[in-house]
């Protein structure tokens, strides 16, 4: 590793220390880990260290696994992307207007059930005269619980579509909650069983689980600079239920870089951003393809540069707090761009 890259990794360590990063992260290529670090606590009360073996919630990064499962079923001839949702799930009153592809691409127009639940809880909080901090904890815990799919269906069936399907992008967790249910109905397997058999086992991801209750780290949010324990919840749906550790997270990143589990054409489709916003389990931030996740106080990030065979993964179990979060995110975004430039120059110089 060149001195310039080593200097940048030292700078990243300083940035994370300055803003109290709590978790595990790594920068890797398909064949090597360039940088890896753990810091902070899996459990603050017991002062149990956060290690490479610590499992924490992936939140919305679960969607990449759900999308992979759907595309596997497409390749097997069990699903057609442009068939209406009503062919696979007719319990939703607008199912004949929406395709499977639109669910995957986040342009279905289906309202986000997490927004609807949050709004209802905020109304309850106002009538109960809860403080803003108490309301935040209540909402985070509620969204981290197992919400039955039937309850989600009842919620969205009482709402109109937000827009004409296919006309624009809007991030909605409901899309992937529905997709995980479609996986179960088509395969006659539980979502957990399908993911285990067809994704986790082939990749030897032996410490990745379904259900946030299987985390080994508790989750937290900062309030007045004090970490408040939000617990582990028990979320089960394919919009945000999975947990993993850094060891397995790197296996997932390596598999994506290597194009495993799906055909090259389907992997390419995942990175084809519709409306310039969302592909299939992927967005983009600056020069990097990316997806993040959040549930309870668990956060995760997966950045990838496919053309450079480079990936960066983060797990953290303390929800960032206040203005300091924005400063930290800006600093790490800037760092990644500078790293990419340095990495490209290093590769170019080595090939001369």
pLDDT tens digits for range 108-124:
999 999 999 999 999 88
CA–CA distance, 13 with 339 (Å, rounded to integer): 13
Checking if the pLDDT of 332 tops 70, the result is yes
pLDDT score, position 352:
41
- The proportion of the chain whose per-residue pLDDT surpasses 90, expressed as a percent, equals 88
pLDDT score, position 322:
67
- Residue 325 or residue 153, greater confidence: 153
Which of 337, 340, 330 minimizes the C-alpha distance to 19?
A: 330
SS3 sequence of the chain: CCHHHHHHHHHHHHHHHHCCCCEEEEEECCCCEEEEEEECEEECCCCEECCCCCCEECHHHHHHHHHHHHHHHHHCCCCCCCCEHHHCCCCCCCHHHCEHHHHHCCCCCCCCHHHHHHHHHHHHHHHCCCCHHHHHHHHHHHHCCCCCHHHHHHHHHCCCCCCCCCCCCCCCHHHHHHHHHHHHHHHCCCHHHHHHHHHHCCCCCCCCEECHHHCCCCEEEEECCEEEEEECCCCCCCCCCEEECHHHHHHHHHHHHHCCCCCHHHHHHHCCCECCCECCCCEEECCEEEEEEEECCEEEEEEEEHHHCEEEEEEECEECCHHHHHHHHHHHHHHHHHHHHHHHHHHHHHHC
- Residue 306 or residue 156, greater confidence: 156
Interval 35-63: pLDDT, tens? 999 999 999 999 999 999 999 999 999 99
Checking if the pLDDT of 139 tops 90, the result is yes
| Residue 198 contacts residue 72 (beta carbons within 8 Å) | yes
Q: Which two tokens stand for residue 315?
A: 């797990």
Checking if the pLDDT of 321 tops 80, the result is no
Q: Domains, the chain, ranges and CATH?
A: 20-28+56-319 (3.40.710.10)
Give burial (CB, 10 Å; 0-12/13-18/19+) of 214.
Answer: middle
Checking if the pLDDT of 260 tops 50, the result is yes
pTM: 0.96
Interval 183-203: pLDDT, tens? 999 999 999 999 999 999 999
- Residue 334 or residue 124, greater confidence: 334
pLDDT score, position 347:
61
Tell me what the pLDDT averaged over the chain comes to: 95
């Amino acid at each position: 590793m060149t001195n310039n890259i080593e200097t940048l990794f030292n700078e990243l360590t300083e940035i994370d220390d300055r803003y109290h990063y709590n978790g595990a992260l790594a920068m890797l290529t398909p064949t090597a880990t360039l940088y890896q670090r753990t810091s902070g606590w899996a459990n603050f009360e017991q002062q149990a260290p956060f290690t490479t073996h610590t499992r924490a919630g992936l939140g919305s990064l679960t969607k990449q696994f759900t999308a992979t499962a759907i595309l596997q079923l497409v390749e097997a001839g069990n699903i057609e992307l442009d068939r209406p949702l009503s062919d696979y799930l007719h319990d939703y009153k607008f199912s004949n207007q929406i395709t499977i592809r639109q669910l995957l691409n986040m342009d279905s127009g289906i309202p986000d059930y997490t927004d609807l639940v949050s709004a209802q809880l905020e109304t309850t909080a106002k009538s109960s005269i809860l403080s803003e901090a108490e309301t935040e904890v209540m909402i985070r815990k509620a969204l981290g619980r197992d919400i039955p799919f039937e309850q989600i269906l009842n919620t969205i069936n009482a709402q109109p579509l937000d827009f004409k399907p296919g006309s624009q992008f809007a991030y909605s967790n409901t899309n992937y909650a529905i997709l995980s249910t479609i996986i179960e109905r088509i395969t006659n397997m539980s979502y957990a069983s399908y993911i285990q058999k067809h994704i986790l086992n082939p990749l030897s991801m032996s410490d990745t689980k379904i259900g946030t209750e299987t985390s080994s780290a508790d989750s937290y949010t900062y309030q007045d600079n004090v970490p408040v324990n939000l617990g582990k919840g028990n979320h089960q749906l394919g919009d945000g239920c999975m947990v993993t550790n850094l060891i397995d997270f790197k296996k997932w990143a390596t598999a994506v870089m290597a194009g495993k589990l799906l055909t090259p054409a389907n992997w390419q489709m995942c990175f084809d951003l519709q409306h310039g916003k969302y592909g299939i389990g992927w967005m983009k931030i600056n020069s990097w393809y990316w997806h993040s996740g959040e549930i309870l106080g668990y956060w995760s990030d997966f950045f990838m540069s496919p053309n450079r065979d480079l990936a960066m993964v983060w797990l953290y179990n303390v929800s960032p707090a206040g203005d300091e979060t924005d400063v930290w995110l800006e600093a790490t975004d800037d760092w990644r761009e500078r790293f990419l430039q340095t990495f490209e120059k290093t590769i170019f110089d080595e090939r001369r």
